[in-house]
Amino acid sequence: MEFSAEQIAGILGGTVVGNASVTVSGLAKIEEGVPGALSFLSNPKYEEHIYVTDSSICIVNNTFQPTKPLPDTLTLVKVDDAYACFAKLLEVYSQMNKKKPAIEQPSYIASSAKLGENLYVGAFAYIGENAVIGDHVAIYPNAYIGENVVIGSNSVIHPGAAVYGDCKVGANCIVHAGVIIGADGFGFAPDEKGVFHKVPQIGNVIVEDDVEIGSNTTIDRATMGSTIIRQGAKIDNLCQIAHNVEVGNHSALAAQVGIAGSAKLGAHVMVGGQAGISGHLHIADGTKIVAQSGIPASVKKADTLMGSPGIPLEDFKKSYFGFRKLPFILNKIQELEKKIKELTKD
């Protein structure tokens, strides 16, 4: 589908500089631009590419002022925030390419399930007893929706994802391929002989509205009560969220984050890749945890933490500076010990 610069400016509330009737039918990074492509420039580090790009239209900030001649074939659309506006266009594009309503066969839908309007259910998908599926939901092939599950309107369940029984997924959520929502929490009790016995996990998982969950992430059901992912949270691929965890509103977890049982993360918490958070902790609103950090104790006040155990970032930098000097310090100590021995020989 083609869009003109004038149409794009209308969608974004921008201003056209150049040929308003030029059209694009695809997207490209500015350094990889081709005729008929739409690109954007927001990071000044990439400005050099705009003077040689072959893209037909480029979205730029209103503050952008060329320092060299632009290609004659390039039209600009000026907006307040080029990055945010490009993301908005990507969302429009994504919605236009959303699966059309259909129930593909073979698929299984229990007779007691309640289905909304305009659904897409892919081949080999399974929808269990008493499940409730909202309007405009897309459930891709080989997805599993267990008994009593609720899926809110406009949500997307990608191929091979599984939502176990009694769990709830809100509206406007995206659950990527291979995600497991509601598997048993890791609950075992050893007896007097040290033999582990399974503790039944009878709770569920509640995923609130506007959440996105990356591929192959696992979110365990609660032992009792609910594991909760609050509204607007964004979870990357390959994360492990244990039983009875709570992830706060609009928090973001990067890939391979692990959160142990019953930890509670506040709102707007950001956790870098491969960081680990111990169980039964509380992490204050607005806390930032640097990648590969380990958090063994509750965080009562928002801070940026790094290291294992995690400490305030500035303290970590000072400690690391000292750590890098350790070989020099050790050599100096050895030299001093040698001199002391020489001075005390007699």
How are strands ordered across the β-sheet holding 282-283?
Answer: 114-115, 132-133, 150-151, 168-169, 204-207, 226-229, 246-247, 264-265, 282-283
Going by pLDDT thresholds of 50, 70 and 90, the confidence category of residue 121 is very high
Whether 326 shows a pLDDT value over 80: the answer reads: yes
CATH class of 102-315: mainly beta
Which superfamily, per CATH, for 3-96?
A: MurE/MurF, N-terminal domain (3.40.1390.10)
Compute the average pLDDT of residues 224-229: 97
How many Cβ atoms are within 10 Å of 230's Cβ, its own excluded? Answer: 21
Q: Is the peptide bond before 106 cis (omega within 30 degrees of 0)?
A: yes
Q: How confident is the model over 79-118, as pLDDT tens digits?
A: 999 999 999 988 887 777 778 899 999 999 999 999 999 9
How many Cβ atoms are within 10 Å of 325's Cβ, its own excluded? Answer: 11
Given this model, what pLDDT does residue 142 score?
Answer: 98
What CA–CA distances, in Å, run from 148 to 64, 121, 164, 167, 209? 53, 17, 9, 7, 18
Distance CA 147, CA 128 (A): 4
Whether 15 shows a pLDDT value over 70: the answer reads: yes
The full length of the chain comes to: 346
Compute the average pLDDT of residues 319-340: 87
Q: Taking the model in full, what pTM does it have?
A: 0.85
Compute the average pLDDT of residues 4-30: 95
Given this model, what pLDDT does residue 150 score?
Answer: 98
Compute the average pLDDT of residues 139-162: 98
Lowest mean pLDDT among 82-91, 130-139, 228-237, 270-279: 82-91
Lowest mean pLDDT among 131-140, 212-221, 239-248, 312-321: 312-321
Whether 322 shows a pLDDT value over 90: the answer reads: no
Whether 346 shows a pLDDT value over 80: the answer reads: no
The residue among 61, 73, 79, 89 whose CA lies nearest residue 18 is 73
Given this model, what pLDDT does residue 209 score?
Answer: 98
What's the CA dihedral at 291, 184, 163, 279 to 10 degrees?
A: -30
How many Cβ atoms are within 10 Å of 318's Cβ, its own excluded? Answer: 12
Whether 319 shows a pLDDT value over 90: the answer reads: no
Average pLDDT score, the chain: 95
Given this model, what pLDDT does residue 284 score?
Answer: 98
Q: Kindly list the domain boundaries of the chain, sorted by start residue.
A: 3-96, 102-315, 320-346
Distance CA 63, CA 196 (A): 64
Which token pair is 127? 């929808």
Distance CA 33, CA 26 (A): 10
Compute the average pLDDT of residues 40-62: 96
How many Cβ atoms are within 10 Å of 314's Cβ, its own excluded? Answer: 11
Percent above pLDDT 70 for the chain: 100
Whether 345 shows a pLDDT value over 80: the answer reads: no
Report the chain's terminal Cα–Cα distance, integer Å.
Answer: 93
| Residue of 136, 158, 243, 268 marked active site | 243
Going by pLDDT thresholds of 50, 70 and 90, the confidence category of residue 343 is confident
Which token pair is 133? 């599926």
Going by pLDDT thresholds of 50, 70 and 90, the confidence category of residue 320 is confident
Q: Is there a catalytic annotation at residue 158?
A: no
Given this model, what pLDDT does residue 117 score?
Answer: 97
Q: How confident is the model over 246-293, as pLDDT tens digits?
A: 999 999 999 999 999 999 999 999 999 999 999 999 999 999 999 999
Going by pLDDT thresholds of 50, 70 and 90, the confidence category of residue 325 is confident
Whether 306 shows a pLDDT value over 90: the answer reads: yes
How many Cβ atoms are within 10 Å of 224's Cβ, its own excluded? Answer: 12
Whether 316 shows a pLDDT value over 90: the answer reads: no
